[in-house]
Amino acid sequence: LKSLEEHDPKLYDLIEQEKYRQFTELELIASENFTSRAVMECLGSALTNKYSEGLPHARYYGGNEIVDQVEELCQTRAIEAYGLNPEEWGVNVQPYSGSPANFAVYTGLLKPHDRIMGLDLPSGGHLTHGFYTYSKKEGTRKAVSATSVYFESLPYQVDQVSGYIDYDQLERDAGLFKPAMIICGGSAYPRDWDYERFRKIADANGALLLMDMAHISGLVATKEQKSPFEYCDVVTTTTHKSLRGPRAGMIFFRKDERGFEHKINQAVFPALQGGPHEHQIAGVATQLLEVMTPEFHIYSKQVKKNAAALGAKLVSLGYSLATGGTENHLVLWDLKPQKITGSKFEKVCDAVSITLNKNCVPGDRSAVTPGGVRVGACAMTTRKMVEEDFEQIGQFLHEALLIALKVQEESGPKLVDFVKCLKGNADVAALRKSVN
Ligand code: PLP
């Protein structure tokens, strides 16, 4: 049996290059993290060879005695990590990732074309919460994810000035739209969630309440964010962001007379998925063991402190953040006052070895040219950075922005010309050297 290096040197080399990139750049994508060696070992283990359609002790294939124990261990640890009572809450750990987890919930608990309300994508929501693009020219609306193809969605928004969710407007719209499900959670929202208010709005309209805690699930497990479990009917999550596990998804459901357990399990398999990826499930299981350690609690606290330190540094430099700051792992930086787009700033950051992403910010007129960037603290906190380091990151970002503004002056408004001007730029080379 040959190693990857011997068997496929070309691919081996690409993976080594990516490893080098990950370990030399400042990784600030809010949805990314560096997972542990133990998780990596699970992903490359013998479990990848096994078919295990069905649930533990009810499989459609033989040879699952050990796999059953792996999956049950993952389920038990998931319930334990969130401090849940196993009589009241169950979990399905088979979703391949966050998007399939959400779609399984809709498939199991809704009928096609039922109405849903989730946070709009330009307000920081996720595609899978029901998002449309609008063409003013053609006067049409286009569904860009399966959620808005198969369900009728009326997204709610953040207040365009404060950046906080406009709960009053959500309440008024829900009263008229009468959704079957309200979805909380998002991908670029720097504040915690008012579950009590969401619950009241859901109850007033007979709606189910789903929390997609993908971004903050590590912070929820360590009580650095409020728990959604008291108020929600169903909670979904990815496992690879603040939770720091492998790429996968989980669905937590209330066990009561409404029969969610059966409906959700059936939606995952056989409705949407085939054989579960037991190597991922093992990776989640071992990560959940880590999540329950005091070290992970310290880590989560530090993630929040680091995001806050970065936010404070940017504000001290005169920049504008959505909601004025953060109480979780990310800041949403509004670049509109500087008159530069998030796309251009992202390109400069890439060129100086800082990895982040362009993002819509409140008040943006188009999702195509986002007016800001999203900056997250999870990955660099895993690499042991503390507040001072994040202040330095804030300084690097400031310097990168000054370069971006200078280049924009030379290149004019078009992104292609801007990118051309970046090549061979001496300021870029100098800043990249400092960052590395
Ligand atoms: N839900 C939220 C809130 C997310 O931010 C994401 C991904 O970033 C997802 C779901 C989808 O997860 P995945 O990319 O694993 O399908």
Sequential DSSP letters for 341-388? -HHHHHHHHHHTTEE-EEE--TT-S-SSS-SEEEEE-HHHHHTT--HH
Q: Is the CB of 212 under 6 A from ligand 1?
A: yes
329 Cβ below 6 A of ligand 1? no
pTM of the full predicted structure?
Answer: 0.96
Give the pLDDT of residue 189.
98
pLDDT at 135: 78
Active site residue 212: yes
Dist. CA 76–CA 130, nearest whole Å: 31
Positions in the chain short of pLDDT 70? none
Atom of ligand 1 lying closest to residue 98 CA: 12
What tens digit of pLDDT does each residue of 269-316 get?
Answer: 999 999 999 999 999 999 999 999 999 999 999 999 999 999 999 999
Q: Which long-range contacts (CB under 8 A, 24 or more apart) does 408-413 make?
A: 408/340, 408/344
> Quick check: CB of 99 below 6 Å from ligand 1?
yes
Helix residue ranges per DSSP H, 113-259: 146-150, 167-177, 195-204, 217-221
**Confidence at residue 174, expressed as pLDDT on a 0 to 100 scale:** 98
Digit-coded pLDDT (tens) for 185-198: 999 999 999 999 99
Residue nearest to atom 14 of ligand 1 (CA): 98
166 carries an active-site annotation: no
Cα–Cα nearest to 230, from 264, 261, 197: 197
Identify each DSSP E strand in 222-328 by its residue range: 234-238, 249-254, 320-321
Active site residue 226: no
For residue 153, report the distance from its CA to the centre of ligand 1, in Å. 18
pLDDT value of position 167 = 98
ipTM over 0.95: yes
What pLDDT score was predicted for residue 425? Answer: 87
Pocket test for ligand 1, best of 126, 131, 284, 374 (most atoms within 8 A of CB): 126
The span from the CA of 337 to the CA of 319, in Å, is 8
Catalytic entry in 12, 53, 327, 399: 53
391 carries an active-site annotation: no
pLDDT (0 to 100) of residue 138: 80
Cα of 62 vs centre of ligand 1, distance in Å, is 33
CA–CA separation, 297 vs 202, rounded Å?
32
Which residue among 107, 147, 237, 238 is the active-site one? 238
Q: Is 326 in the pocket of ligand 1 (CB under 6 A)?
A: no
CB atoms near residue 366 (< 10 Å)? 12
